[in-house]
Amino acid sequence: MTNPTAPLLAVDDLRTTIHTARGDLRAVDGVSLRLDRGEMLGVVGESGSGKSVLGRTIMGLHTTGPLTTIQGRVEFDGQDIHGLRAGQLRDLWGSRIGMVFQDPMTALNPVKKIGTHLTETLRKHRGLGRGAARDRALELLAQVGIPDPRRRIDQFPHEMSGGMRQRVVIAMALANEPDLLIADEPTTALDVTVQRQILDLLDRLQEQLGMAVILISHNLGVVAGRADRVAVMYAGRIVETSEAGALFRAPHHPYAEALLAAIPRLELPPHLRLEAIEGAPPNMLRPPSGCRYAPRCRYAQDDCVSRTPLLEGTPDEPDHRYACHHPVNLEPLMPVTPAEPEGAR
């Protein structure tokens, strides 16, 4: 469903190339996406797919320099992110774009109190005075579900558990009510019960603040339950993107299908043989020509190597786009029900 008003974020043919001693690593190789206000996009991929580099590039953390070359365009609310000067970019971060990184242990400065982490960003971007900043910080801590904020605000990171720390990091990202939140594996280092609490929190806050979110994860389940749209990445490119439910009901790209089949499912009986994907992700220094998944794809044919497939939808489902010459599951399928497991698909 395309939104008639301008998207909050528009990424056009983004390419991030990292120059290493052994050659050029094409971490992100032609990614285009749109994000509307208030929408949650899930970006899913395994390690090496380039999803984290994508997140950082969108934010502007990777810029063209001696180590990296950025091509393509990232437009945030009409502004070209990579055309901004360092100072303008910094103003954007923390006030209009927030980022939550993977490891809560290292995202916080061990010698700064929790409160300081929050008040610093509040005072810088909002110009609040000391007292006002502290009050707002207490508000934020309560909002992210930290019990007893008055005691916690003066604690140091090591005095809190991983789940708490991640909430603090989220509070920092949200302090100035950004329009866009980029969350890179925000729950990977956390236990499953804490993970659920954090994801519920993100859901709630997204509703309350009308914030757009990019949720990057290797865990499809995390993304499936929460995101409006999902994009599956492989070897630096998006291979399938659609509304979340549609992807899980009927993935069209063989990689997405294989990924779903490889995950053990709780609702299926034990001891089922999982459909493992043969081989390993490609070497991003010298990626294969044509479709990058072809070497591992069970449906691959000659034209997959000779012609690079483009990310396109069909007339029936214009919003469910995939980059494949021989997509799967195009006929409507029966949803998987626990009562009659057909084996892992």
Nearest to other proteins of 8, 256 (CB atom) = 256
* Total number of residues that touch other proteins (CB under 8 A): 74
Exactly one of 280, 310, 330, 333 binds other proteins (CB under 8 A); which one? 280
Exactly one of 271, 315, 316, 342 binds other proteins (CB under 8 A); which one? 271
Nearest to other proteins of 5, 337 (CB atom) = 337
Interface of this chain with other proteins, residues 217 to 246, rule: CB under 8 A = 218-222, 224-226, 236, 245
Pick the stretch among 65-73, 116-124, 206-214, 305-313 that binds other proteins (CB under 8 A): 65-73
Exactly one of 270, 315, 316, 340 binds other proteins (CB under 8 A); which one? 270
Exactly one of 6, 67, 310, 333 binds other proteins (CB under 8 A); which one? 67
Exactly one of 12, 23, 306, 314 binds other proteins (CB under 8 A); which one? 23
CA–CA separation, 244 and 242 (whole Å) = 6
Please give the helix or strand (H or E) that residue 335 lies within, else none. Answer: none
Interface of this chain with other proteins, residues 177 to 196, rule: CB under 8 A = 191-193, 195-196
Is 149 within 8 Å of 115 (Cβ atoms)?
A: no
Nearest to other proteins of 56, 229 (CB atom) = 56
Nearest to other proteins of 2, 193 (CB atom) = 193
Radius of gyration of the chain (CA): 21
What's the sign of the alpha-carbon dihedral 333, 319, 99, 83? positive
Exactly one of 279, 289, 302, 310 binds other proteins (CB under 8 A); which one? 279
Pick the stretch among 2-10, 61-69, 72-80, 302-310 that binds other proteins (CB under 8 A): 61-69
Exactly one of 147, 331, 332, 340 binds other proteins (CB under 8 A); which one? 147
Rule CB under 8 A: say whether 336 interacts with other proteins: yes
Give me the least distance between CB of 337 and other proteins, in Å please: 6
Contacts for 246 with CB less than 8 Å, ≥ 6 apart:
317, 320
CA–CA separation, 94 and 119 (whole Å) = 12
Task: Look up residue 93 and give its DSSP letter.
Answer: B
**Planar angle of CA 137, 135, 200, nearest 5 degrees:** 40
Rule CB under 8 A: say whether 119 interacts with other proteins: no
Give me the least distance between CB of 78 and other proteins, in Å please: 28
Is 51 within 8 Å of 44 (Cβ atoms)?
A: yes
Is 57 within 8 Å of 14 (Cβ atoms)?
A: yes
CA–CA separation, 175 and 167 (whole Å) = 12
Return the structure tokens found at 299.
């449906």
Give me the least distance between CB of 5 and other proteins, in Å please: 29
Residue 179 CB coordination number (10 Å): 19
Pick the stretch among 35-43, 149-157, 205-213, 336-344 that binds other proteins (CB under 8 A): 336-344
Q: Give the C-alpha distances (Å, rounded to integers) separating 104 from 5, 83, 101, 213.
A: 36, 30, 7, 19
Give me the least distance between CB of 206 and other proteins, in Å please: 15
Give the 3-state DSSP-derived string for 165-211, with helices as H, strands as E and coil as C: HHHHHHHHHHCCCCCEEEEECCCCCCCHHHHHHHHHHHHHHHHHHCC
Rule CB under 8 A: say whether 343 interacts with other proteins: no
3-class secondary structure, 201:
helix
Pick the stretch among 106-114, 135-143, 175-183, 329-337 that binds other proteins (CB under 8 A): 329-337
Nearest to other proteins of 6, 285 (CB atom) = 285
**CB-based burial, 302-314: b 16+ in 10 Å, e otherwise:** eebeeeebebeee
